[in-house]
Amino acid sequence: MFTCPTKAIMKTDVDHFGDDQYAAVVKDILAQYEEHMKEKTPAGEVSKGARMAGSLLRFAGHDLMDYRVHDKVNTGGSDGCMDFSTGDNAGLENGMRNGKIPEAYEKHCGYISLADFTVIAAEAVMGRTSPTYNKENPFAEGTLLNTFRENFLAGRETTLECPWSVDRMPNPENGEDAMREVFVENVFNAAKDGWRMTTAIIGAHTLGGASLENSGYEGTWSDPEDQGKFNNGYYRNLLLKGWGTELGVNGNPNKNQWIRVDRGAPSQK
- Alpha-carbon torsion angle 60, 61, 65, 66, nearest 10: -40
DSSP 23-89: HHHHHHHHHHHHHHHTS---TTS--HHHHHHHHHHHHHHHHHTT--TT-SS---SSSS---TTSGGG
Per-residue pLDDT reduced to its tens digit, 33-65: 999 999 988 877 888 999 999 999 999 999 999
Q: Cβ–Cβ contacts within 10 Å for residue 192, how many?
A: 7
Domain 14-211 listed as CATH 1.10.520.10: yes
Domains in the chain: boundaries: 14-211
- Mean pLDDT value across the chain: 93
Whether the CB-CB separation of 159 and 81 falls below 8 Å is answered with yes
Measured over the CA atoms of residue 49, residue 210, residue 164 and residue 181, the dihedral's sign is: positive
Report the alpha-carbon distance of residue 53 to residue 209 in Å, rounded. 10
Per-residue pLDDT reduced to its tens digit, 164-192: 899 999 999 999 999 999 999 999 999 99
Residue 261 in this model has a pLDDT that exceeds 60:
yes
Per-residue pLDDT reduced to its tens digit, 199-256: 999 999 999 888 999 999 998 877 777 889 999 989 998 998 899 999 999 999 999 9
Per-residue pLDDT reduced to its tens digit, 60-96: 999 999 999 987 766 899 999 999 989 999 999 999 9
